[in-house]
Amino acid sequence: MKEKELKQMTIPAQRLMARCAGEEKRVGTRTVFVGNHPVSETEAYPAQRFCDNRIVSSKYTLWNFLPKNLFEQFRRIANFYFLIIFLVQVTVDTPTSPVTSGLPLFFVITVTAIKQGYEDWLRHRADNEVNKSTVYIIENAKRVRKESEKIKVGDVVEVQADETFPCDLILLSSGTSDGTCYVTTASLDGESNCKTHYAVHDTIALCTAESIDTLRATIECEQPQPDLYKFVGRINIYSNSLEAVARSLGPENLLLKGATLKNTKKIYGVAVYTGMETKMALNYQGKSQKRSAVEKSINAFLIVYLFILLTKAAVCTTLKYVWQSNPYNDEPWYNQKTQKERETLKVLKMFTDFLSFMVLFNFIIPVSMYVTVEMQKFLGSFFISWDKDFYDEEINEGALVNTSDLNEELGQVDYVFTDKTGTLTENSMEFIECSIDGCKYNGVTEEVDGLSQTDGPLTHFAKAVKDREELFLRALCLCHTVEMKTNDTVDGATESAEFTYVSSSPDEIALVKGAKKFGFTFLGTRNGHMRVENQRKEIEEYELLHTLHFDSVRRRMSVIVKTQIGEIYLFCKGADSAVFPRVPVDEIEPTKRHVEHSAMDGYRTLCVAFKKITPDDYEKINRQLVEVKLALQDREEKMEKVFDDIETNMNLIGATAVEDKLQDQAAETIDALHAAGLKVWVLTGDKMETAKSTCYACRLFQTGTELLELTTKSIEECERKEDRLHELLIEYRKKLLREFPKSTIRSHKKAWTDQEYGLIIDGSTLSLILNSSQDSSSNNYKSIFLQICMKCTAVLCCRMAPLQKAQIVRMVKNLKGSPITLSIGDGANDVSMILESHVGIGIKGKEGRQAARNSDYSVPKFKHLKKLLLAHGHLYYVRIAHLVQYFFYKNLCFILPQFLYQFFCGFSQQPLYDAAYLTMYNICFTSLPILAYSLLEQHINIDTLTSEPRLYMNISGNAMLQLGPFLYWTFLAAFEGTVFFFGTYFLFQTSSLEDNGKVYGNWTFGTIVFTVLVFTVTLKLALDTRFWTWINHFVIWGSLAFYVFFSFFWGGIIWPFLKQQRMYFVFAQMLSSVSTWLAIVFLIFISLFPEILLIVLKNVRRRSARNPNLELPMLLSYKHIDSGYS
């Protein structure tokens, strides 16, 4: 079949070596001995070493887990900080016990290590399942059972139906008589349709272990490279006479690891790439740990608060020695120094005092914040899984959260990178209409009498000649790579109970179905002959001589066939831009009108042409094709040139229109993302015309969008492609700079004029841009390209290899301002970009689950991205940003009175609060209210968030964790902490606060401050709460009640394990004073008054705004833009 064109060309070994001189030795090729048998005892080949077949995706081993994991954890600033504090408490006499820092740190480190260890154990288990799986190798004419990891390059492997290929194999033979096999790559490149692969003609008959073991051959091929769709090689088959038969090998002969054998009993293949050199492994990027922007902000805030801590400790240490410069203050009569203290070096004592002050104030940076943040992320992720709007009845599944570390990042996305097929579209094609000689036909839904029908379901606007109609339909039945399977079920649509069409391209199936509806039925290929049933129910046979496969440069494909009477025809189908220049000008105009009209309707269009070839011309064509297909060096360029010469002087027959149905609400989702200020890029492996049509259909490109093309076609006009590319880049940049002179990443939406621009680039051109030579003027390609991309409203990248998708994402990630990127896809070819982006979304569709397994979040449909970002992402970010700011706020309120107290106790490191209060403040008294807030708060209704996408821009750029909001919270905490301390201090100017004249002591003073503190920070959170539930009420009022109960309980019992009963009856006695009650209430009101005043003023301002009907509760740290929602 596919090898028919080679005509069983046999070449003597000497002639083969002479013709291929130098190619064997060139860098970048390898020689593989089939079955690891030498072809002869006399010929010497250089020994080559190849890697084994083990797959390794795990991060740790048993030996390096502990040191490596601890190193990674202590890279966190907070963990490292608490480690230092713990060591200080252990080595220095400090006011607080080492347990207060050591126990929480040990808990956090242990839990994190267990979690990461378990995840890596799962990776080890998955690797072992693959590496230890059973395979069968042919050795000495016998099937030998082995583990997959023991496969070596050159081994002949037997694979049974429905098994996965254990490595990259060259197909030698199959269970079918014609040497074909059917493969699904749903777990590899996301395509659910069957792909047909072929064995070379000379090895088709080797269908048993005994016969395959007699094969003596070598395979010469390129070194491993990640492109799934490219392979260049040849097989040299040696007979007993040492004559070699050379056959070309291409992607159609290569079976990729991860693909699955379907509808074929078994195949034999020889391993050419194994283990980490397989194309699947080369396309897999290890899952690096992603960190959200919020976590980076936390680290920045920690540095600021660490500086505050060091400043406080330094000030107190300095003032202590200033205070002690007076001998009476240094050594009062009631506290004489020991001899050891007098002999201690003053510098050493100053250092230990500095460390003691650090320990005293270290609660300004609570380890409990990290525990709360982890709990918030883990528990909050369940809301995505529980969302009924994400449930899809078709697959009976909802959304899935694979990592909870990035919830808030969903609210910070700037760029969305999406796959096309299976993500934006359903990957379900339907034949809509066709045009023959300028006559349009549509509406055919049944097979009746074909195109000549004048009533019934057929609608035609004019009628073409009968012979031309039949020629067009024969072209549709012959010009394709569709195969037909009888009485088998495969991934694809079933024509009837008798047979099913399968193909790697669903639109080819749609065209064959369209021809069937018009009365011409493709009946499959048998022994290299294509069979077609015409409208008169007659069977026509055509010998398939050559297939000129589709490629992204030509944008067309052709077949050369011979009829039963010996006539030879070339049928060609392709994009209008690829076919029109190759047909007479006078034939173009009638068809062109229909093509343009169909394209505007969002249909995928193809033009169909043919030419008749004379026997003499065919002999020349056949000789050229055989020669270029055997080349190892520059094969693709040589084939492209020959194909280009063959596909000339054709005659246009007509055009087709096929609809690739968009996913439900895909266009509305992209509109919403654009309205939210997000830039959407489509990255697809599909051809440009198809992708462009989809982009128009899903409204990524509007009808008025001017498209700028950086494609192989646009730069091939010049002999030196880099020069032409440079010219285009400069030209496009000048055009866009005139339109948008001052627009930036964040403000590009506002800068748009009536004219919108879209950019289209293909994989080949992208490679030129990314790999441009540094010694040429094109070394700034990348920066110019990025400038162009930033000015365009949408970007389409077509013919992208998986790693190129990741390169695009990485390039945008590194832009100035570090925009947040999100990638969404459904196939394994999207895994690299999903792993590369800040947030990866997998579509749980029909095309395998590798993308969903490697993603951070997976959803059933593209439409679910709208709610995931605009509602869940928005709320997650607001909740956790408020949590982070609130934690630093309440701990500064907590520690500032402790700092001020040192000025009134001779800087003696005397704690203001009891040890129980120090321990319980972050763990019990103030932890649950903020956790409940961070899980349940909805400051804006979810329906409003989804219906008003521009609200998403209010939180973009990490707005709530910028310097402004941070300073606001810090100054608010400083104000309230000062009020707590000095308000209580002035109250104590009257030392007797009871009727009986009893005097309060320092623990009563600290307890009053602490009581005001707990009530103030809790009520502050109540003021910020917009969405009240019974849980909020329970934890807020319950926490305050628990504090009161605990204080009575703690001070009402003499605890035997305490050396000092300093809090005995303090709280109860304190509340027996009316003055204390009034002071507490008054200080709480004074502390919260600025907050209350600001909320009232903002609500008044909001109600007088131009959108009075949109009731949006305001947060003081919320960013407002000129969007009408202020």
Nearest partner of 188 among 158, 165, 208, judged by Cα: 165
Instruction: Decide: 810 and 403 in contact? Cβ < 8 Å.
Output: no
Rounded CA separation 190/805 (Å): 14
Annotated active-site residue in 189, 353, 387, 419: 419
How many Cβ atoms from other residues are within 10 Å of residue 632's Cβ?
19
Any idea which residue has 């009563």 for tokens? 1004
3-state SS of 718-773 is CCCHHHHHHHHHHHHHHHHHHHCCCCCCCCHHHHCCCCCEEEEEEHHHHHHHHCCC
Number of C-alpha atoms within 13 angstroms, CB side, residue 682?
Answer: 34
Q: Cα 417 from chain centroid?
A: 8
Helix (H) or strand (E) holding 1005: helix 1002-1024
Rounded CA separation 307/303 (Å): 6
**Can you tell me whether residue 62 is helix, strand or coil?**
coil
Ordered DSSP codes for 329-362: HHS-TTSPPPHHHHHS-HHHHHHHHHHHHHHHHG
Instruction: Decide: 193 and 429 in contact? Cβ < 8 Å.
Output: no
Instruction: Decide: 231 and 252 in contact? Cβ < 8 Å.
Output: no
Query: Torsions phi, psi of 299, nearest 5?
Result: -65, -40
Token code pair at residue 628: 């270029």
Token code pair at residue 353: 């005092």
Work out the angle at residue 943's Cα, subtended by the Cα atoms of residues 942 and 949, and round it to the nearest 5 degrees.
90
Q: Is 419 a catalytic residue?
A: yes
Query: Torsions phi, psi of 398, nearest 5?
Result: -115, -160
Rounded CA separation 1039/1028 (Å): 16
| Per-residue b or e along 563-577, where b marks 16 or more CB atoms closer than 10 Å to that residue's CB | eeeeebbbbbbbbbe
**Can you tell me whether residue 702 is helix, strand or coil?**
coil
Tell whether the torsion through CA atoms of 253, 259, 263 and 268 is positive or negative. Answer: positive
Orientation of helix 781-791 relative to helix 721-739, angle to 10° = 40
Residues in contact with 659: Cβ distance below 8 Å, sequence separation at least 6, in sequence order: 429, 430, 432, 602, 603, 604
Instruction: Decide: 566 and 556 in contact? Cβ < 8 Å.
Output: no
Measured torsion, CA atoms of residues 968, 971, 977, 982, in degrees rounded to the nearest 10:
-140
Give how far Cα 652 sits from Cα of 8, 83, 510, Å: 34, 77, 21
**Can you tell me whether residue 387 is helix, strand or coil?**
coil
Q: Where are the beta strands (DSSP E) in 589-734?
A: 604-613, 651-662, 679-683, 706-710
3-state SS of 859-901 is ECCCCHHHHHHHHHHHHHHHHHHHHHHHHHHHHHHHHHHHHHH
Query: Torsions phi, psi of 262, nearest 5?
Result: -130, 145
Q: Which amino acid is at 860?
A: P
Nearest partner of 658 among 599, 725, 741, 698, judged by Cα: 599
CA-atom Rg of the chain in angstroms: 37
By annotation, the residues acting in catalysis are 419
